[in-house]
Amino acid sequence: MNNIKLGVFVLGGLLFLVVLLYMIGINKSMFGGSYILKARFDNVQGLIKGNNVRFAGIQCGTVKNIKIISDTVIEVTMSLDKKMASIIRKNALASIGTEGLVGNKVVNIIPVQGDSEPAAGRDIIASKKMLSTDDLMQTLSRTNDDLAVVVSNLKTTVLRINNSNALWSLLNDNGIPMEVKNTLINFRKATGNAVQITNEVDQLMMDVRNGKGSLGVLLTDTSFATHLDAAVLKIKTVGERADSLALTIHSMASAVQKDMDSGNGAVHALLKDSSIVIKLNKSLENIEKGTQSFSEDMEALKHNFLLRGYFKKQEKKKQAENKKL
């Protein structure tokens, strides 16, 4: 019984040891095959053997070796998980980054768009120069210098503003806000009106476009244009005729004038000869007399026995009509 307990105790301890070593082994990609990829950099920024290699952010291997080829070329040998062999392509880019802001260095392998064969073992993939913390600091220092200049300029500007009496009197004047407010109110009204006007113009333009109103017709109706053309043509011919008419009238008038002046013709007789008036009066008197005697004749005819029946019938008809009304 004691030996069983002892066995369990020992096995427990050994199991933890094995698990510990196995987990570390997995992290160092010791189990399951690995393959080698290389990349060349001009500066590895403190990368050391054993640093992690990531593909698209996934832990996939470690840095196996760092070798100086020449003073500007440093070759980094990476031991990667065999599973990545079919995934990492020849055109992938290697770059050196940092875990967090001040953490360990890592090699990031970034996939690139476009077709390429998977990278075989011992291939050298292209590298990409990344912004190192030193570069960042240098840029920051330049930015700081610029900022110092800007700040000093700002300081003089602020001092000038502080010393300006005009500005302060403007700021201290209590009436100005009220005026500004009124101005704004007016401005708002004006804007409202402008909006209304714009709307109306808009409506008008819409109507015109749709052919409503005379302007619309004028602008949109093509048949109207031809009509107008014809009308103008007619007006023109009419004008021409009127010209000739005026000419004729003119010549006629001048002829009448001549007759009048010379005392010949009917017009002259009508307008200038007084004996004609007397003759005319006499004629009218005669006509009056003639009409009177004709009236008497007609009355005598009514009473004639031959025609009396007819007139009586006419009278009765008239009376019947009056009764009806």
Partner 1 sequence: MALSKPMGKFLTETGELSRFAGRFFAQWYKPRYELGEFLRQCFIIGYRSLPLVGLTAFIMGLVLTMQLRPSMVEYGVESQLPAIVGIAIVREIGPVITALIFAGKIGSSIGAELGSMKVTEQIDAMEVSGTNPFKYLVVSRVLASVFMLPVLIMLSDAISLYGAWIGVNIHSTTSFALFWTQVFNILSFSDVLPAFVKSFFFGFAVGIIGCFKGYNSSKGTEGVGQSANSAVVVSSIMIFVIDLLAVQVTELLGLN
Strand bridging mode 105-110 / 73-81? unpaired
- State yes or no: residue 275 binds partner 1 (CB under 8 A): no
- Which segment (2-10, 164-172, 255-263, 287-295) binds partner 1 by CB under 8 A? 2-10
Q: Is 52 exposed, middle or buried (0-12, 13-18, 19+ CB in 10 A)?
A: middle
- State yes or no: residue 238 binds partner 1 (CB under 8 A): no
Take residue 71 and report the two structure tokens written for it: 């003073």
- State yes or no: residue 20 binds partner 1 (CB under 8 A): yes
- State yes or no: residue 126 binds partner 1 (CB under 8 A): no
* Distance of closest approach, residue 61 Cβ to partner 1, in angstroms: 14
Take residue 215 and report the two structure tokens written for it: 């302007």
* Distance of closest approach, residue 27 Cβ to partner 1, in angstroms: 6
Tell me the number of residues near partner 1 by CB under 8 A.
19
Distances (CA, A) of 189 to 175, 178, 183: 21, 17, 10
- Which segment (21-29, 146-154, 210-218, 268-276) binds partner 1 by CB under 8 A? 21-29
- Among residues 32, 33, 50, 265, the one that binds partner 1 under rule CB under 8 A: 50
- State yes or no: residue 27 binds partner 1 (CB under 8 A): yes
Strand bridging mode 34-41 / 73-81? antiparallel
- State yes or no: residue 57 binds partner 1 (CB under 8 A): no
* Distance of closest approach, residue 57 Cβ to partner 1, in angstroms: 15
Residue entry with tokens 């030996």: 3
Residues 6+ apart with CB under 8 A from 133: 45, 98
Spatial CA neighbour of 124 closest among 62, 208, 36: 36
- State yes or no: residue 23 binds partner 1 (CB under 8 A): yes
- State yes or no: residue 49 binds partner 1 (CB under 8 A): no
Strand bridging mode 93-98 / 105-110? antiparallel
The contact set with partner 1 (CB under 8 A) reads 2-3, 5-6, 9-10, 12-14, 16-17, 20-21, 23-25, 27-28, 50
